[in-house]
Amino acid sequence: MRRALAEHRPAIHHADQGVQYAGTASINAVRDVGAHISMATVGEPTANGDAERRMRPMKEAEGRLHAYADFHAASQPMGRFLDEVYQHKRLHSALGDLTPAEFETQWLPQRRMALSDTLAMP
């Protein structure tokens, strides 16, 4: 999450009630970038289906293939998978069969133009 927040400033950060997201350090990190915190209701596992669906490919492709001794041992390969495979190689049907990196490259100029047009209005 630290890496993501260093590069992106989301308007909303939505997560489940897991300790990694509900802990003081995580909440402060999200607030520090000015994002609104949104959390799924306790006991509602279906409320976070979108995020869980996004994590499934990583869990299946990387996480289940290895037995990690601890969190530190898992963080390096998981980070590599997210950076190299998920962002730059895995096509997403919801993004028009683009990778997230390709989608962002196309979306950013459009977003900047829309903001520029909005600011130019009298």
Q: Considering the domain boundaries, does residue 32 fall inside one?
A: yes
CA atoms of 85 and 28, how far apart (whole Å): 29
Q: Which residues contact 58 (CB under 8 A, 6 or more apart)?
A: 78, 81, 82, 86
Question: Which tens digit of pLDDT belongs to each residue from 43-84?
Answer: 776 766 776 776 777 667 665 556 777 777 777 777 777 788
Q: Considering the domain boundaries, does residue 105 fall inside one?
A: no
Q: State which residues form the domain around 28.
A: 1-39
Give how many domains the chain has, as a whole number: 1
Q: How confident is the model at residue 11 (pLDDT cuts 50, 70, 90)?
A: confident
Q: Considering the domain boundaries, does residue 23 fall inside one?
A: yes
Q: What does pTM read for this prediction?
A: 0.47
Decide: 35 and 10 in contact? Cβ < 8 Å: yes
Q: Considering the domain boundaries, does residue 13 fall inside one?
A: yes
Q: Considering the domain boundaries, does residue 122 fall inside one?
A: no
